[in-house]
Chain A
Protein backbone atom coordinates (compact mmCIF):
# COMPACT_ATOMS: atom_id res chain seq x y z
CA UNK A 1 0.00 0.00 0.00
CA UNK A 2 1.04 3.64 -0.47
CA UNK A 3 0.63 6.42 2.02
CA UNK A 4 0.41 10.11 1.37
CA UNK A 5 3.25 12.32 2.49
CA UNK A 6 1.85 15.19 4.52
CA UNK A 7 4.81 17.37 5.49
CA UNK A 8 6.34 14.44 7.23
CA UNK A 9 9.82 13.49 6.28
CA UNK A 10 9.54 10.09 7.94
CA UNK A 11 7.18 9.16 5.12
CA UNK A 12 8.64 9.36 1.66
CA UNK A 13 6.30 9.39 -1.32
CA UNK A 14 7.91 6.28 -2.67
CA UNK A 15 7.55 4.25 0.50
CA UNK A 16 5.11 1.39 0.73
CA UNK A 17 3.85 0.40 4.13
CA UNK A 18 3.01 -2.82 5.93
CA UNK A 19 1.92 -3.99 9.35
CA UNK A 20 4.38 -5.45 11.80
CA UNK A 21 1.51 -7.04 13.72
CA UNK A 22 0.38 -8.84 10.61
CA UNK A 23 3.90 -10.14 10.12
CA UNK A 24 3.74 -11.52 13.64
CA UNK A 25 0.41 -13.22 13.00
CA UNK A 26 1.67 -14.73 9.73
CA UNK A 27 4.85 -16.02 11.38
CA UNK A 28 2.93 -17.43 14.32
CA UNK A 29 0.47 -19.24 12.05
CA UNK A 30 3.30 -20.63 9.93
CA UNK A 31 5.28 -21.94 12.92
CA UNK A 32 2.20 -23.25 14.70
CA UNK A 33 1.23 -25.27 11.66
CA UNK A 34 4.64 -26.88 11.69
CA UNK A 35 5.01 -27.38 15.43
CA UNK A 36 2.04 -28.48 17.49
CA UNK A 37 3.86 -27.69 20.75
CA UNK A 38 3.46 -23.96 20.19
CA UNK A 39 0.83 -22.52 22.53
CA UNK A 40 -0.32 -18.94 22.97
CA UNK A 41 -1.23 -17.12 26.18
CA UNK A 42 -2.79 -13.70 25.97
CA UNK A 43 -3.75 -11.09 28.57
CA UNK A 44 -7.02 -9.77 27.15
CA UNK A 45 -5.50 -8.28 23.98
CA UNK A 46 -5.98 -11.11 21.52
CA UNK A 47 -7.27 -9.09 18.57
CA UNK A 48 -5.03 -6.14 19.22
CA UNK A 49 -1.88 -8.24 18.98
CA UNK A 50 -3.39 -10.29 16.17
CA UNK A 51 -3.49 -13.65 17.85
CA UNK A 52 -7.17 -14.03 16.97
CA UNK A 53 -6.45 -16.20 13.96
CA UNK A 54 -4.39 -18.54 16.14
CA UNK A 55 -7.10 -18.62 18.81
CA UNK A 56 -9.71 -19.50 16.20
CA UNK A 57 -7.60 -22.12 14.44
CA UNK A 58 -6.14 -23.75 17.55
CA UNK A 59 -8.58 -23.22 20.44
CA UNK A 60 -7.02 -26.04 22.47
CA UNK A 61 -3.61 -24.41 22.24
CA UNK A 62 -4.84 -20.95 23.18
CA UNK A 63 -5.09 -19.70 26.78
CA UNK A 64 -7.00 -16.53 27.58
CA UNK A 65 -5.33 -15.41 30.81
CA UNK A 66 -7.31 -12.27 31.54
CA UNK A 67 -5.60 -9.08 32.64
CA UNK A 68 -2.83 -10.72 34.62
CA UNK A 69 0.56 -10.35 32.96
CA UNK A 70 2.56 -11.69 35.90
CA UNK A 71 0.56 -14.88 36.09
CA UNK A 72 0.57 -15.16 32.31
CA UNK A 73 4.34 -15.18 32.01
CA UNK A 74 4.90 -17.65 34.85
CA UNK A 75 2.09 -19.89 33.61
CA UNK A 76 3.90 -19.87 30.25
CA UNK A 77 7.05 -20.93 32.09
CA UNK A 78 5.13 -23.79 33.71
CA UNK A 79 3.96 -25.05 30.34
CA UNK A 80 7.57 -25.65 29.33
CA UNK A 81 7.55 -28.52 31.85
CA UNK A 82 4.99 -30.11 29.53
CA UNK A 83 7.34 -29.51 26.56
CA UNK A 84 5.34 -26.60 25.15
CA UNK A 85 6.75 -23.56 23.38
CA UNK A 86 4.62 -20.82 24.89
CA UNK A 87 4.17 -17.38 23.37
CA UNK A 88 3.06 -14.88 26.04
CA UNK A 89 1.39 -11.82 24.52
CA UNK A 90 0.51 -8.38 25.78
CA UNK A 91 1.56 -4.79 25.26
CA UNK A 92 5.25 -4.14 25.85
CA UNK A 93 4.36 -1.65 28.58
CA UNK A 94 3.09 -4.59 30.66
CA UNK A 95 4.95 -7.51 29.12
CA UNK A 96 7.87 -7.16 29.99
CA UNK A 97 7.07 -3.81 31.68
CA UNK A 98 4.92 -5.16 34.46
CA UNK A 99 6.27 -8.70 34.71
CA UNK A 100 10.02 -8.11 34.62
CA UNK A 101 10.62 -10.11 37.79
CA UNK A 102 8.83 -13.09 36.24
CA UNK A 103 10.93 -12.65 33.10
CA UNK A 104 14.17 -12.55 35.08
CA UNK A 105 13.60 -15.12 37.80
CA UNK A 106 11.09 -17.27 35.96
CA UNK A 107 11.97 -17.48 32.30
CA UNK A 108 15.61 -16.39 31.98
CA UNK A 109 17.30 -17.79 35.10
CA UNK A 110 16.13 -21.28 34.14
CA UNK A 111 16.70 -20.67 30.39
CA UNK A 112 13.10 -21.64 29.65
CA UNK A 113 11.90 -21.83 26.07
CA UNK A 114 9.36 -19.01 26.45
CA UNK A 115 8.61 -16.25 23.93
CA UNK A 116 7.64 -12.86 25.29
CA UNK A 117 5.80 -10.77 22.71
CA UNK A 118 5.60 -7.06 23.52
CA UNK A 119 3.11 -5.40 21.21
CA UNK A 120 2.43 -1.68 20.78
CA UNK A 121 5.97 -0.74 21.76
CA UNK A 122 7.34 2.76 21.31
CA UNK A 123 6.05 6.25 20.72
CA UNK A 124 4.00 5.22 17.67
CA UNK A 125 1.42 3.62 19.94
CA UNK A 126 0.23 7.20 19.64
CA UNK A 127 -3.14 8.38 20.94
CA UNK A 128 -3.09 6.04 23.98
CA UNK A 129 -0.43 8.28 25.49
CA UNK A 130 2.64 7.83 27.65
CA UNK A 131 1.33 4.98 29.83
CA UNK A 132 1.14 2.71 26.80
CA UNK A 133 4.17 3.99 24.87
CA UNK A 134 6.85 1.57 26.06
CA UNK A 135 10.21 3.25 25.61
CA UNK A 136 12.31 1.35 28.14
CA UNK A 137 11.80 -2.29 27.18
CA UNK A 138 15.05 -2.76 25.25
CA UNK A 139 16.93 -1.41 28.28
CA UNK A 140 15.27 -3.74 30.77
CA UNK A 141 15.45 -6.85 28.60
CA UNK A 142 18.95 -6.65 27.19
CA UNK A 143 20.50 -6.66 30.66
CA UNK A 144 19.05 -10.07 31.53
CA UNK A 145 21.36 -13.06 30.96
CA UNK A 146 20.17 -15.80 28.57
CA UNK A 147 17.53 -13.62 26.92
CA UNK A 148 17.46 -12.98 23.15
CA UNK A 149 16.08 -9.53 22.19
CA UNK A 150 14.72 -8.98 18.68
CA UNK A 151 13.28 -5.78 17.17
CA UNK A 152 12.16 -6.40 13.57
CA UNK A 153 11.91 -3.49 11.15
CA UNK A 154 8.92 -4.35 8.95
CA UNK A 155 6.13 -6.81 8.27
CA UNK A 156 8.19 -9.33 6.33
CA UNK A 157 11.06 -9.30 8.81
CA UNK A 158 8.63 -9.69 11.70
CA UNK A 159 7.28 -12.85 10.10
CA UNK A 160 10.81 -14.22 9.78
CA UNK A 161 11.74 -13.15 13.31
CA UNK A 162 8.64 -14.84 14.73
CA UNK A 163 9.47 -18.08 12.96
CA UNK A 164 13.11 -17.81 14.02
CA UNK A 165 12.40 -17.31 17.73
CA UNK A 166 10.03 -20.28 17.71
CA UNK A 167 12.90 -22.44 16.47
CA UNK A 168 15.59 -21.55 19.02
CA UNK A 169 15.35 -23.11 22.46
CA UNK A 170 15.91 -19.98 24.49
CA UNK A 171 13.82 -17.30 26.14
CA UNK A 172 13.22 -14.58 23.53
CA UNK A 173 11.72 -11.10 23.65
CA UNK A 174 10.13 -9.86 20.43
CA UNK A 175 9.33 -6.14 20.26
CA UNK A 176 6.51 -5.09 17.95
CA UNK A 177 5.21 -1.70 16.87
CA UNK A 178 1.59 -0.92 16.20
CA UNK A 179 1.90 1.82 13.54
CA UNK A 180 2.25 0.99 9.87
CA UNK A 181 5.91 0.77 8.98
CA UNK A 182 7.92 1.24 5.79
CA UNK A 183 8.47 -2.00 3.88
CA UNK A 184 12.18 -2.62 3.62
CA UNK A 185 12.83 -6.31 3.41
CA UNK A 186 11.44 -8.89 1.03
CA UNK A 187 10.79 -12.60 1.11
CA UNK A 188 14.29 -13.19 -0.20
CA UNK A 189 16.11 -10.95 2.30
CA UNK A 190 18.54 -12.75 4.55
CA UNK A 191 17.50 -13.01 8.19
CA UNK A 192 19.27 -14.69 11.02
CA UNK A 193 19.01 -13.88 14.71
CA UNK A 194 22.22 -12.23 15.88
CA UNK A 195 23.36 -11.27 12.36
CA UNK A 196 22.75 -7.62 11.54
CA UNK A 197 21.94 -6.69 7.94
CA UNK A 198 23.93 -4.05 6.10
CA UNK A 199 21.16 -2.60 3.97
CA UNK A 200 23.11 0.03 2.05
CA UNK A 201 26.89 0.31 1.96
CA UNK A 202 28.78 3.57 2.53
CA UNK A 203 32.12 4.98 3.66
CA UNK A 204 31.54 8.25 5.51
CA UNK A 205 29.35 7.35 8.46
CA UNK A 206 27.54 4.31 9.89
CA UNK A 207 23.85 4.66 10.72
CA UNK A 208 22.64 1.85 12.96
CA UNK A 209 18.87 1.55 13.36
CA UNK A 210 16.31 -0.93 14.62
CA UNK A 211 12.57 -1.39 14.30
CA UNK A 212 10.60 1.15 12.32
CA UNK A 213 13.57 3.56 12.40
CA UNK A 214 15.41 1.47 9.80
CA UNK A 215 13.16 3.03 7.16
CA UNK A 216 14.06 6.53 8.37
CA UNK A 217 17.76 5.68 8.17
CA UNK A 218 17.39 4.48 4.59
CA UNK A 219 15.55 7.67 3.60
CA UNK A 220 18.16 9.80 5.36
CA UNK A 221 20.91 8.01 3.45
CA UNK A 222 19.26 8.95 0.14
CA UNK A 223 19.06 12.63 1.12
CA UNK A 224 22.64 12.66 2.37
CA UNK A 225 23.89 11.18 -0.86
CA UNK A 226 21.86 13.29 -3.29
CA UNK A 227 21.95 16.63 -1.48
CA UNK A 228 25.30 16.51 0.32
CA UNK A 229 27.42 13.88 -1.39
CA UNK A 230 27.78 11.93 1.85
CA UNK A 231 27.83 8.16 1.66
CA UNK A 232 26.31 6.56 4.75
CA UNK A 233 26.22 2.88 5.56
CA UNK A 234 22.88 1.71 7.01
CA UNK A 235 22.79 -1.26 9.35
CA UNK A 236 19.54 -2.92 10.42
CA UNK A 237 20.30 -4.07 13.96
CA UNK A 238 17.25 -6.30 14.36
CA UNK A 239 18.85 -8.33 17.13
CA UNK A 240 19.88 -6.26 20.13
CA UNK A 241 21.03 -9.30 22.04
CA UNK A 242 23.23 -11.05 21.12
CA UNK A 243 24.67 -7.94 19.48
CA UNK A 244 26.36 -8.52 16.12
CA UNK A 245 29.71 -7.04 17.10
CA UNK A 246 31.52 -8.11 13.93
CA UNK A 247 29.21 -6.24 11.59
CA UNK A 248 29.46 -3.09 13.72
CA UNK A 249 33.24 -3.30 13.90
CA UNK A 250 33.67 -3.93 10.21
CA UNK A 251 31.57 -0.91 9.32
CA UNK A 252 33.02 1.43 11.92
CA UNK A 253 36.61 0.63 10.98
CA UNK A 254 35.69 1.95 7.56
CA UNK A 255 33.63 5.02 8.55
CA UNK A 256 34.89 6.04 11.99
CA UNK A 257 31.58 7.73 12.84
CA UNK A 258 28.32 6.30 14.15
CA UNK A 259 24.74 7.44 14.54
CA UNK A 260 22.17 5.20 16.19
CA UNK A 261 18.42 5.68 16.03
CA UNK A 262 15.63 3.83 17.77
CA UNK A 263 12.07 4.34 18.99
CA UNK A 264 13.24 4.00 22.59
CA UNK A 265 14.96 6.00 25.32
CA UNK A 266 18.49 6.86 24.29
CA UNK A 267 19.49 5.68 27.77
CA UNK A 268 19.92 1.94 27.85
CA UNK A 269 18.63 1.12 24.39
CA UNK A 270 20.18 -0.29 21.23
CA UNK A 271 22.40 2.80 20.90
CA UNK A 272 23.72 2.25 24.39
CA UNK A 273 24.50 -1.35 23.52
CA UNK A 274 26.49 -0.13 20.52
CA UNK A 275 28.30 2.44 22.70
CA UNK A 276 29.18 -0.15 25.32
CA UNK A 277 30.68 -2.41 22.71
CA UNK A 278 32.58 0.25 20.78
CA UNK A 279 33.96 1.99 23.87
CA UNK A 280 35.53 -1.35 24.80
CA UNK A 281 36.77 -2.42 21.39
CA UNK A 282 37.08 0.54 19.03
CA UNK A 283 36.20 3.96 20.45
CA UNK A 284 34.76 6.37 17.87
CA UNK A 285 32.42 9.36 17.91
CA UNK A 286 28.82 8.22 18.39
CA UNK A 287 25.58 10.17 18.40
CA UNK A 288 22.51 8.45 19.77
CA UNK A 289 19.05 9.46 18.53
CA UNK A 290 15.88 8.40 20.27
CA UNK A 291 13.70 9.52 23.12
CA UNK A 292 15.76 11.94 25.16
CA UNK A 293 14.94 10.95 28.74
CA UNK A 294 11.30 11.96 28.67
CA UNK A 295 7.83 10.44 28.53
CA UNK A 296 5.67 10.68 25.43
CA UNK A 297 2.11 12.04 25.10
CA UNK A 298 -1.02 11.45 23.04
CA UNK A 299 -0.93 12.20 19.34
CA UNK A 300 -0.57 10.65 15.93
CA UNK A 301 2.35 8.23 15.94
CA UNK A 302 4.35 9.82 13.13
CA UNK A 303 3.69 13.35 14.44
CA UNK A 304 5.05 12.28 17.80
CA UNK A 305 8.19 10.89 16.20
CA UNK A 306 8.77 14.27 14.52
CA UNK A 307 8.13 16.20 17.74
CA UNK A 308 10.50 14.07 19.79
CA UNK A 309 13.27 14.01 17.22
CA UNK A 310 13.07 10.46 15.92
CA UNK A 311 13.04 11.24 12.22
CA UNK A 312 14.74 11.19 8.88
CA UNK A 313 15.39 14.95 9.19
CA UNK A 314 17.00 14.50 12.58
CA UNK A 315 19.36 11.87 11.19
CA UNK A 316 20.38 14.15 8.31
CA UNK A 317 20.92 17.05 10.70
CA UNK A 318 22.99 14.93 13.09
CA UNK A 319 25.12 13.49 10.29
CA UNK A 320 25.89 16.95 8.87
CA UNK A 321 26.85 18.22 12.29
CA UNK A 322 29.14 15.26 12.99
CA UNK A 323 30.84 15.43 9.62
CA UNK A 324 31.28 19.21 9.82
CA UNK A 325 33.16 18.79 13.11
Chain B
Protein backbone atom coordinates (compact mmCIF):
# COMPACT_ATOMS: atom_id res chain seq x y z
CA UNK B 1 0.00 0.00 0.00
CA UNK B 2 2.87 2.32 0.74
CA UNK B 3 4.07 1.65 -2.82
CA UNK B 4 0.72 2.90 -4.14
CA UNK B 5 1.13 6.16 -2.21
CA UNK B 6 4.50 6.71 -3.93
CA UNK B 7 3.20 5.67 -7.34
CA UNK B 8 4.69 7.31 -10.39
CA UNK B 9 3.62 6.87 -14.01
CA UNK B 10 6.79 4.83 -14.68
CA UNK B 11 6.07 2.44 -11.80
CA UNK B 12 2.43 2.23 -12.85
CA UNK B 13 3.35 1.21 -16.40
CA UNK B 14 5.98 -1.34 -15.27
CA UNK B 15 3.63 -2.93 -12.72
CA UNK B 16 0.84 -3.10 -15.31
CA UNK B 17 3.23 -4.81 -17.74
CA UNK B 18 4.21 -7.40 -15.10
CA UNK B 19 0.55 -8.04 -14.22
CA UNK B 20 -0.35 -8.31 -17.89
CA UNK B 21 2.45 -10.84 -18.45
CA UNK B 22 1.29 -12.87 -15.42
CA UNK B 23 -2.30 -12.80 -16.66
CA UNK B 24 -1.29 -13.85 -20.18
CA UNK B 25 0.92 -16.66 -18.82
CA UNK B 26 -1.83 -18.16 -16.68
CA UNK B 27 -4.50 -17.66 -19.34
CA UNK B 28 -2.40 -19.25 -22.09
CA UNK B 29 -0.45 -21.92 -20.23
CA UNK B 30 -2.50 -22.52 -17.05
CA UNK B 31 -4.18 -25.62 -18.47
CA UNK B 32 -0.84 -27.33 -19.02
CA UNK B 33 -0.29 -27.45 -15.27
CA UNK B 34 -3.46 -29.61 -15.06
CA UNK B 35 -4.70 -27.96 -11.88
CA UNK B 36 -8.33 -28.60 -12.74
CA UNK B 37 -10.55 -26.56 -15.02
CA UNK B 38 -12.40 -24.71 -12.24
CA UNK B 39 -9.22 -23.84 -10.34
CA UNK B 40 -7.46 -22.58 -13.48
CA UNK B 41 -10.48 -20.45 -14.34
CA UNK B 42 -10.52 -19.07 -10.79
CA UNK B 43 -6.82 -18.27 -10.95
CA UNK B 44 -7.19 -16.47 -14.29
CA UNK B 45 -10.17 -14.52 -12.94
CA UNK B 46 -8.32 -13.67 -9.72
CA UNK B 47 -5.24 -12.33 -11.51
CA UNK B 48 -7.45 -10.50 -14.02
CA UNK B 49 -9.49 -8.83 -11.27
CA UNK B 50 -6.31 -7.95 -9.34
CA UNK B 51 -4.85 -6.35 -12.46
CA UNK B 52 -8.07 -4.41 -13.06
CA UNK B 53 -8.20 -3.19 -9.44
CA UNK B 54 -4.56 -2.03 -9.63
CA UNK B 55 -5.12 -0.33 -12.98
CA UNK B 56 -8.17 1.60 -11.73
CA UNK B 57 -6.82 2.39 -8.23
CA UNK B 58 -3.47 3.39 -9.72
CA UNK B 59 -4.89 5.82 -12.23
CA UNK B 60 -7.11 7.40 -9.53
CA UNK B 61 -4.03 7.77 -7.31
CA UNK B 62 -2.02 9.33 -10.14
CA UNK B 63 -4.78 11.82 -10.84
CA UNK B 64 -5.11 12.78 -7.18
CA UNK B 65 -1.64 12.30 -5.61
CA UNK B 66 -1.51 11.95 -1.83
CA UNK B 67 -5.28 11.90 -1.33
CA UNK B 68 -6.64 8.37 -1.55
CA UNK B 69 -3.74 6.56 0.15
CA UNK B 70 -2.53 8.63 3.05
CA UNK B 71 -0.93 7.77 6.37
CA UNK B 72 -4.24 6.85 8.01
CA UNK B 73 -5.05 4.36 5.24
CA UNK B 74 -1.60 2.82 5.64
CA UNK B 75 -2.07 2.59 9.41
CA UNK B 76 -5.41 0.81 8.87
CA UNK B 77 -3.91 -1.71 6.44
CA UNK B 78 -0.93 -2.24 8.72
CA UNK B 79 -3.18 -3.05 11.69
CA UNK B 80 -5.44 -5.22 9.53
CA UNK B 81 -2.42 -7.17 8.22
CA UNK B 82 -1.26 -7.87 11.77
CA UNK B 83 -4.75 -9.01 12.77
CA UNK B 84 -5.08 -11.25 9.68
CA UNK B 85 -1.69 -12.82 10.41
CA UNK B 86 -2.74 -13.90 13.91
CA UNK B 87 -6.11 -15.17 12.65
CA UNK B 88 -4.29 -17.35 10.10
CA UNK B 89 -1.88 -18.61 12.78
CA UNK B 90 -4.85 -19.50 15.01
CA UNK B 91 -6.81 -21.23 12.23
CA UNK B 92 -3.69 -23.08 11.00
CA UNK B 93 -2.91 -24.35 14.50
CA UNK B 94 -6.49 -25.50 15.08
CA UNK B 95 -6.59 -27.17 11.67
CA UNK B 96 -3.27 -28.89 12.26
CA UNK B 97 -4.79 -30.57 15.31
CA UNK B 98 -8.10 -31.36 13.59
CA UNK B 99 -6.44 -32.82 10.49
CA UNK B 100 -4.33 -35.16 12.64
CA UNK B 101 -7.32 -36.36 14.63
CA UNK B 102 -8.53 -39.83 13.72
CA UNK B 103 -11.73 -39.24 15.69
CA UNK B 104 -12.78 -36.27 13.57
CA UNK B 105 -11.44 -37.82 10.38
CA UNK B 106 -11.15 -34.79 8.09
CA UNK B 107 -9.71 -35.83 4.74
CA UNK B 108 -8.44 -32.57 3.29
CA UNK B 109 -5.85 -32.38 0.57
CA UNK B 110 -2.96 -29.90 0.70
CA UNK B 111 -4.81 -27.85 -1.94
CA UNK B 112 -7.92 -27.66 0.28
CA UNK B 113 -5.82 -26.52 3.23
CA UNK B 114 -3.93 -23.86 1.24
CA UNK B 115 -7.18 -22.59 -0.30
CA UNK B 116 -8.85 -22.35 3.12
CA UNK B 117 -5.91 -20.50 4.66
CA UNK B 118 -5.78 -18.06 1.72
CA UNK B 119 -9.51 -17.37 2.07
CA UNK B 120 -9.21 -16.95 5.84
CA UNK B 121 -6.31 -14.50 5.36
CA UNK B 122 -8.13 -12.44 2.74
CA UNK B 123 -11.44 -12.52 4.60
CA UNK B 124 -9.97 -11.52 7.97
CA UNK B 125 -7.91 -8.78 6.33
CA UNK B 126 -10.94 -7.33 4.52
CA UNK B 127 -13.18 -7.56 7.58
CA UNK B 128 -10.64 -6.10 9.99
CA UNK B 129 -9.85 -3.28 7.52
CA UNK B 130 -13.52 -2.33 7.50
CA UNK B 131 -13.86 -2.48 11.29
CA UNK B 132 -10.62 -0.54 11.94
CA UNK B 133 -11.50 2.13 9.36
CA UNK B 134 -14.84 2.64 11.14
CA UNK B 135 -13.12 3.02 14.50
CA UNK B 136 -10.18 5.21 13.47
Q: Do A and B come from one complex?
A: no
